[in-house]
Structure 1
Amino acid sequence: MRMRVLRRKLTVMAVCAMSVGAILVTAAAPASAATTGEFGVRFRDNNQNGQCRVEADPPGDVTTWAPIDSWTRYLAIDTDSRSGGCNLWFGLNNPDSSLDGLQLSYTYTVSTGAPSRRCAFQTPSPQPIKFFPFPIDWPVWIPDPGITLDSDAFLPGWCNLTLYLDGTSNIVLDIRYWYVQGTDGGQCISAAQPGTEQVWTVRRDHPVTIGLNSGDGAGACYLAFRLRRT
């Protein structure tokens, strides 16, 4: 009798242990269901006062990923004399090896003739955009502060964000950059007029630069990205 009871207890303990183990393995798996290469953007409004948004989301710290051949959600950039500013990070995800060989990088510098303090935390040397094992949110998008969008519009010039691509000719990075309807676009250097759907393409040996001159004027700049097969 005692042996049968003991055997039953041991069986229950083993089943429970297997169940707990299954739960732990399931919890450790990444939440992503991504099956192809992706481009990721993290966009943070440091003081959550409306200077930086992802589409119509409330200001905060938002991470968005887009699979290859699809556009990211657009970023709304409206930095001005309000305190804080925005931080911007990029990332790549390659679960199916579709992005093998791809090398993306960026620089962030002042325009020619502008004082260096016009754009905080410049990176004149190309900064590689990292690959992550799966789409992932902060705080592992390091190092801070990423790209800091908090320019002083009372100084001459503007800030240039330049993106570079190397390592493959089978993948390109498309950029849409446009300004809000009803404004003159002076805060968004080289941006397209609203509704034109103009696209700039970063290719091997063909970088693309956009100018950021956001200030206290009306309007804002919109920015979106798409990895695309050629």
Structure 2
Amino acid sequence: MSGLRMTGRLRSLALVLAAGVFMVVSLSSTAVYATEAAPASVEPQLGIRFNPDGDAGQCGGRTGEQWAASPNWTQAIRFDTDDRPGGCQLAFGVYDPDRVLTGSTITYQLSRSTGGVGQCGNNVLPNKLPILPVPAFGAPVRVDTDGQPGWCNLTFSVTGNLVLEVQLYADGDAGQCEDAAPFTHYAFDGTPVTVKIDTDNRAGGCQFLLRLQHF
């Protein structure tokens, strides 16, 4: 074999990659040993539940339930609540099957602006967003801005090893989503994010997306 002599037992080490599984195989004249690598972890998923409780035209985009695995963006939901009956029920959750976010927290709060009356439902205190190994949502808040004075402030607060990215932008009159600039807001440990929702009878509404990243 090109000047190499074959003597005694054959000893070699080969790295084999097959069907997406990394294996280390030790070959000898007597035995073959294989060790399978640990499976990749499952990324946490951020969930939004968004449903109308009146005129369905006020709550657009991706209604119902959705889940987006980190680091993907959720699909956009759309606020366009005005003087039509009803509003939009909104809740959030994180599905974390591998518990990579253990010790982290997220809270969300929909509160009335100064002078705002009857626009933002009755659940105006901070709500803990569940981070669980099963899909679950926190308590719903109710977005129902209309022609009355004031608006709703939606605030996210975070602790731990994650960043929650928030996008809110207008698809009509920019005054309905005044906190849209800068385009992306970052909530992280000690730095909350608040966006303003003031949709009424002006043209257009507000598009809203989230993304979860962890480190």
- TM-score band by shorter chain is 0.7 to 0.9
Q: Check 1:49–1:107 CA distance in 2 against 1; reply closer, same or farther (3 A cut).
A: closer
Going from structure 1 to structure 2, the CA distance change for 1:120 and 1:206 (only over 3 Å counts) comes to same
The whole-number CA distance in structure 1 between the counterparts of 2:86 and 2:115 is: 22
RMSD (CA atoms)? 2.0
The Cα shift of 1:83 comes to 1.0
Partners of 1:202 and 1:217 lie apart in 2 by 29
Q: Which runs of 4+ in 1 moved over 6 A?
A: none
If asked which structure has higher relative contact order (CA below 8 Å, sep 6+), I would say: 1
The answer for unaligned runs of 5 or more in structure 2 is: 1-40
CA distance in 1, matches of 2:60, 2:124: 23
1:81 is paired with a residue of what secondary structure? coil
Specify the code of the residue in structure 1 equivalent to 2:157.
Y
More helix by share: 1
8 A contact 2:112–2:124 mirrored in 1: no
Q: Does 1:120 align with 2:121?
A: yes
Any stretches of 5+ residues in structure 1 without a counterpart? 1-33, 56-60
Provide the residue aligned with 1:213 in structure 2.
198
Given the two structures, how large is their TM-score scaled by the length of structure 1?
0.70
Counterpart of 1:158? 151
Q: What SS does the aligned partner of 1:50 have?
A: helix
Structure 1 position 107 matched with structure 2 position 106: no
The percentage of counterpart residues that share the same residue type is: 31
1:51-200 mapped onto 2 (5 Å cutoff): 51-55=58-62, 62-111=64-113, 113-124=114-125, 126-135=126-135, 141=137, 143=139, 146-151=140-145, 153-166=146-159, 168=160, 170-180=161-171, 183-192=172-181, 198-200=183-185
- For the pair shown, the structure with the greater C-alpha radius of gyration is 2
Cα distance between partner residues in 1 of 2:138 and 2:128: 12
Kindly tell me the number of residue pairs found equivalent between the two proteins. Answer: 175
- Structure 2 counterpart of 1:42, from 49, 65, 79: 49
Distance verdict in 2 for CA 1:100–1:221, change over 3 Å: same
Could you tell me which residue of structure 1 aligns to residue 32 of structure 2? none
Equivalent AA in structure 1 for residue 131 of structure 2:
F
